[in-house]
Chain A
Amino acid sequence: MSVHAAQLSTASLTDSRLVVVSGKGGVGKTTVAAAIATAAADAGKRVLIVEVEQREGLAPLFGRPAIGYDEASLAPGIAGISVVPDEALTEYLQLFYGVGRIARPLLTGKAVEFATNTAPGLRDILLIGKVKEAENRRAGGSYVYDLIVLDAPPTGRLPRFLDAPRAVVELVQSGAIRQQAQGVLDMLLDPKRTRVVLVTLPEEMPVRETIEAAAAMREMGIALGPVVVNALSPQPFTTAQQRTLSKEGAAALLAEAADAGIDLTERAAEGVAAVASTHARRATAQRRALKELTASLDLSQIRLPALFTPQIGAAERRRLAAELVAQGAIA
């Protein structure tokens, strides 16, 4: 089993039909989802990227103001859709009860809030049901999309989100709804079709949450892809240099400057040494977190560099996509 899982996790993500991307809040999972979609499209796949819960993080990555409920092209080979519960519910009722879109005004606001808040998992089954519909959609005998990338809820909510169809299958004995939920469940539990990619920062808290989420996925029988470690800072200093920096600080820099005949004031040396040692400590702390991740989670890792741009847009998305290809996540 573990050998099998390891093999799968090193295979290209484009071998799956659905890639579910999740991570602790603030780790950049949306950026990674967009980068995966971009790399897959570059490899010639027709990709649909799905946003749930209207997080609105996806649109700027494609230079768009917003992503709508109707599928629309975001970039060559990439379509995008934002799935919201009330739209999904309308579609669902239409599908199972023949309630037309004309009834939509009745189904907004309180009605949907009630339905999605009261019935545990109803919201989730609606969202994920829409994903399944897109995954299964065919035109002229072949799939419309080769790959669906789901920018899923954060890891804290992920197990419950992915568990919704199983709960429905257990609750509902027969009929169209059970059939639909069973279909979703089959998709999620098939390691050839679905893989979960967990995104983390090389920091203590996100790493711990990632390890926990991976355990939850395994318990649910859902296959995991590589872990993506995002925003890794470079470590330009050797261990010996780090020691010198922290022990001698500015004095070491001034000595080297004198040797090399470079004019450097004491004040400048102090400022530079402070920044350099902060950076070194940070890079070291990141590597410590990485070590913890490696020791606790037997999944291959994709390591993405820190981009140091406050704005993450189309250029950064493409840069990270290239990195995913270079590290073998997408072939």
Chain B
Amino acid sequence: MSDLAAILREQHVIVCCGPGGVGKTTMAAALALRAADEGRTVIVCTIDPARRLAQSLGLDSLDSEPKPVPASAFKGRKPHGQLWAMMLDTKRTFDDMVLDLTTPERAQRIFDNSFYQHISSSLAGTQEYMAMEKLYELHEEGRWSLIVIDTPPTRSALDFLDAPKRLTDFLDSRFLRALLWPTIAAGKSTFKAFNVGARVMLRAATRITGSDLLSDVANFFSAFDGMYANFKHRAERVREMLGARRTSFVVVSSPQEASLREARFFVDRLRREQIPLGGVIVNRTHLAPPVLDDARDLAELAAKSGKAPLLAASLDVYASWQEIAEREARAVEDALGGGRMPALWGVPDFADDVHSVPALRRLSEHLLGPISVPS
């Protein structure tokens, strides 16, 4: 599905992804608001919103519980549907998942483990995985007809899509067990050299981290034993949901080459994984309506006349924006063309930070035209 209006009308899950610093969170909020304005019951789950954006959605308490956006936020124009918002709390989502997958006693042992405390908040890939886990939970709850989820600004598409698999591989890795119990492994392994390597590694790791950490790790894995199957199963279901027909990924990018390059990675990777790609939103473009093609010459005339300083400066700015807009269009073409061009939606730079419901509405109206309320 590559019609943005249809995506907002019909899909059940929209995942906003893309590189950092391109306004992904704002875009997720704008899309969610739009769908709510048009009558759907929507929740937007953000990762790390700008404080004023969070406040404008009534999220100033930085809560990880879904909450309806307070009526006052809508500035007298309540959505036809409902808008809920929440923030992702990585650690808490991980805790909830552990509780869900094992007995309370075992869960407590896991929570008390200092290695768990480390990985649940800072292991590479955890945040990405928990974003997907939260998405799955929201989906299971069944209270919302549309879930819009923001994703961490991971630099590589691989990190994000691989997160569930990488984490389960990591937790279930035979290598890890071999490393933790070198003596057990020695009897079973056919690769002696491997264990030499493992022992060196263990020694190095112990020297650097102190030995407590490694016993913590061993304890963690013994507590985690038996959870693997559930854990893996869960990851597979998350993956299934991402590939489902009622899910659309929307890639957000800026018109800068570096950002577009990453957007291209996302597009390619999503296609390879057969994850449904809605299209690419190119945010903060320079938009110059095609009203003049000799602006630079006119600017010079205006400057020479000595009677039109504001006009001269304005025409100069306009001419520069025209040039920039052309270059940006070329950069988009270069980065995303060459093969099947994804659906593209441009959003101009609104100059002011988009931090309020009216500003989010302006953004959505630019993307989708006037809001239409179902009759």
Contacting A at CB under 8 A, from B295-313, are 295, 298, 301-302, 305-311, 313
- Write the B233-264 contact mask toward A (1 if CB under 8 angstroms, else 0): 00000000000000000000011111110000
| Across-interface contacts of A265 in B (CB, < 8 A) | 291
Question: Do B317 and A275 have beta carbons less than 8 Å apart?
Answer: yes
Question: Do A26 and B314 have beta carbons less than 8 Å apart?
Answer: no
Question: Do B291 and A171 have beta carbons less than 8 Å apart?
Answer: no
Question: Do B200 and A312 have beta carbons less than 8 Å apart?
Answer: no
- Write the B142-175 contact mask toward A (1 if CB under 8 angstroms, else 0): 0000000000010100000000000000100101
Question: Do A272 and B204 have beta carbons less than 8 Å apart?
Answer: no
Complex-state Cα separation, A261 to B151, whole angstroms: 54
Q: A24-B21, A117-B123, A262-B305 are in contact. Are A311 and B257 (CB under 8 A)?
A: yes
Q: Please tell me which one of the listed residues A119, A168, A308, A311 contacts residue B213 in the complex, with CB atoms under 8 A apart.
A: A119
Question: Do B197 and A103 have beta carbons less than 8 Å apart?
Answer: yes
Question: Do A244 and B311 have beta carbons less than 8 Å apart?
Answer: no
Q: A26-B19, A281-B351 are in contact. Are A106 and B311 (CB under 8 A)?
A: no
What is the count of residue pairs linking A and B with beta-carbon distances less than 8 angstroms? 200
**Interface SS of chain B:** helix
Question: How many Å from the CB of B238 to the closest CB on chain A?
Answer: 21
Q: Please tell me which one of the listed residues A27, A120, A204, A257 contacts residue B302 in the complex, with CB atoms under 8 A apart.
A: A257
**Interface SS of chain A:** helix
Complex-state Cα separation, A314 to B306, whole angstroms: 39
B39 interface hit (Cβ, 8 Å): no
Question: Do B200 and A237 have beta carbons less than 8 Å apart?
Answer: no
Complex-state Cα separation, A154 to B173, whole angstroms: 30
| Across-interface contacts of B260 in A (CB, < 8 A) | 310
Name 27 interchain pairs, CB-CB below 8 A, sorted by A. A26-B22, A27-B21, A115-B204, A118-B217, A119-B208, A120-B209, A122-B205, A172-B210, A177-B208, A203-B353, A236-B313, A256-B311, A260-B301, A261-B305, A262-B311, A270-B291, A271-B289, A271-B292, A275-B314, A275-B321, A276-B318, A308-B320, A309-B327, A310-B255, A310-B327, A311-B257, A312-B256
Residues of A near any B CB (own CB < 8 A): 24-27, 53, 55, 57, 60, 92-93, 96-97, 99, 103, 106-107, 110-111, 113-115, 117-122, 125, 154, 168, 171-172, 175, 177, 203-206, 236-237, 241, 244-245, 252-253, 256-257, 259-262, 264-265, 267-268, 270-276, 278-279, 281-282, 285, 308-312
